[in-house]
């Protein structure tokens, strides 16, 4: 049984085995929670990300960061782990959420982020994992849909993770997750 906890605040302040990052395919950092994790975690995380990225088999030429083709990247819905640097965690698990689309249902990809992150957590032996609300920032996923997918996926996941903490940055997001848990 996995316990689900809700926390309102900054995920970079959490003390857990693994902190999940809502990364982008480039793994080279970005804004939002990604920027906050790299800022507080220090350069060791980016160094690990660069190494990981170099070892990825996928060439995602259609993905662009700042207008330039990024070449290799982590596909949407997948997850990889790095050091957590100076954060109070052992690992950061980077996952790439889908950009919300009004015309295409991408909920399977968002569910995959949670499932794959928990699979990576199991591989690492992580027992406590903190998640942000993946895809609900720059990637524009509606909070209600994102919360339902997050909670359903974690509730039905087969994992050895004992505690999942959803860390919501603001009060409205917290309320949406709280309603979903009830």
Choice from 78, 117, 128, 136 touching ligand ADP (CB under 6 A): 136
- What angle in degrees, to the nearest 10, is found between the helix axes of 107-124 and 143-156? 40
Q: Does 34 bind ligand ADP (CB under 6 A)?
A: yes
Catalytic residue among 34, 105, 122, 160: 34
Measured CA to CA, the distance from residue 120 to residue 59 in angstroms comes to 22
Tokens matching residue 50: 């660069």
Quick check: 74 binds ligand ADP (CB under 6 A)? no
Q: Binding of ligand ADP at residue 48 (CB under 6 A)?
A: no
Establish if 149 lies at the interface with ligand ADP (CB under 6 A). no
Give the residue with the Cβ less far from ligand ADP, 85 or 97: 97
The one segment of 59-67, 72-80, 81-89, 167-175 that binds ligand ADP by CB under 6 A:
167-175
Q: Does 70 bind ligand ADP (CB under 6 A)?
A: no
Give the residue among 173, 168, 159 at the shortest CA–CA distance from 128: 159
22 near ligand ADP, rule: CB under 6 A: yes
34 is catalytic: yes
- Residue 20 makes contact with ligand ADP by CB under 6 A: no
Distance in Å, CB of 21 to ligand ADP, minimum: 9
Q: Is residue 37 within 8 Å of 21, Cβ to Cβ? A: yes
153 part of the interface to ligand ADP, by CB under 6 A: no
Q: What does the binding site for ligand ADP look like in residue numbers (CB under 6 A)?
A: 10-12, 22, 32-34, 36, 97, 132-139, 167, 169, 173
């Amino acid at each position: 049984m996995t316990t689900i906890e809700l926390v309102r605040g900054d995920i970079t302040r959490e003390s857990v085995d693994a902190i999940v990052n809502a990364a982008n395919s480039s793994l080279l950092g970005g804004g939002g929670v990604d920027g906050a994790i790299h800022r507080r975690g220090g350069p060791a995380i980016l160094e690990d990300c660069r190494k990981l990225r170099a070892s990825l088999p996928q060439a995602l030429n259609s993905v662009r960061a700042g207008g330039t083709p990024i070449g290799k990247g982590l596909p949407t819905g997948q997850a990889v782990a790095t050091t957590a640097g100076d954060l109070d965690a052992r690992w950061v698990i980077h996952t790439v959420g889908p950009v919300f689309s009004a015309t295409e249902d991408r909920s399977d990809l968002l569910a995959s982020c949670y499932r794959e992150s928990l699979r990576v957590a199991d591989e690492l032996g992580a027992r406590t994992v903190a998640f942000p609300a993946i895809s609900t920032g720059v990637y524009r996923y509606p909070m209600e849909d994102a919360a339902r997918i997050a909670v359903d996926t974690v509730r039905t996941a087969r994992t050895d993770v004992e505690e999942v903490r959803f860390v919501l940055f603001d009060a409205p997001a917290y309320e949406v997750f709280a309603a979903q848990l009830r």
